[in-house]
Amino acid sequence: MVVDEMTPDEVDRLFHALADRTRRDIVVRVIEHECSVSQLARGYEMSFAAVQKHVAVLERAALVTKVRRGREALIRPDIDTIARGAELLREYEDLWRGRVQRMDALLQPLTDHE
């Protein structure tokens, strides 16, 4: 189970990072095309420093990484972490579906008598 592979702190950082609309948008943008913080900042009505802070939160959650290319630091997605987050959500869904199936199984004898 992915939950077991990720520490509770890692899961907290992941969901905290994704709880913000701007950070989710940054993840989407860097998945589509790696870019610098300067390039990212031009796409938002906030300061460069604010965008930089959002990127730092995403880095702490391991959703993005910075790679130096000359004088620029390019932001790249960390697809492994994104996949781990998606797998974690799938596991939660599987737990829910299993619960619903168990309830159906418990109720089945009642509906068979109708």
Asked whether the predicted pLDDT for residue 9 surpasses 50, the reply is yes
Asked whether the predicted pLDDT for residue 14 surpasses 90, the reply is yes
The pLDDT confidence band at residue 1, using thresholds 50, 70 and 90, is very low
Task: Give pLDDT, residue 94.
Answer: 84
Q: How far is residue 88's CA from residue 63's CA, in Å, rounded to a whole number?
A: 14
Task: Give pLDDT, residue 32.
Answer: 96
Task: Give the number of other Cβ atoms within 10 Å of residue 57's Cβ.
Answer: 19
* Tens of pLDDT, residues 73-109: 999 999 999 999 999 999 888 887 766 566 666 666 6
* Tens of pLDDT, residues 27-83: 999 999 999 999 999 999 999 999 999 999 999 999 999 999 888 899 999 999 999
Task: Give pLDDT, residue 6.
Answer: 87
Residue 77 contacts by C-beta under 8 Å, 6 or more apart in sequence?
A: 27, 30, 31, 34, 63, 64
Residue appearing with tokens 């965008």: 51
Task: Give the number of other Cβ atoms within 10 Å of residue 29's Cβ.
Answer: 17
